[in-house]
Amino acid sequence: MFGGLGNMAGMLKQAREMQTRLKTIQEEIAQSKYDADSGAGAVNATVSGRGELLKIKINPDTVKAGDVELLEDLVRSAVCAAQRKATDGAKAKMAELTGGLNLPGLDSLMGGP
């Protein structure tokens, strides 16, 4: 008669453990940093695990060239590449929790849209 309650208690325990692990993974993602460069190192961008831009480094020789349009493209390219790395890193961390399942709604749990 109460056999199903034991299963329910076990499931609730697993859910709490998963919630705790999710919080840990979210903290790890937020603290991660990802670097990418463009133009053979002319511009380097660093973003957080959530994709937030933390730092831009521009090689002084790139500025001396005076091509503002090229510099803008290099900055955009470096930032986008770093953000892709951050997204891939966050997905890999979440895969640890889900066993590789791509569950709907995980983007919002990772701090994404």
Task: Read off the CATH number of the domain in which 92 is found.
Answer: 3.30.1310.10
Q: How many residues does the chain have?
A: 113
φ/ψ bin of 40: left (φ > 0), alpha (ψ from -120 to 50), beta (otherwise): left
Domain count, the chain: 1
Q: pLDDT for 30-86, tens place per residue? A: 999 999 999 999 999 999 999 999 999 999 998 887 889 999 999 999 999 999 999
pTM: 0.74
Q: Please say whether the beta carbons of 54 and 64 come within 8 A.
A: no
Which structural domain, as residue segments, surrounds residue 38?
3-109
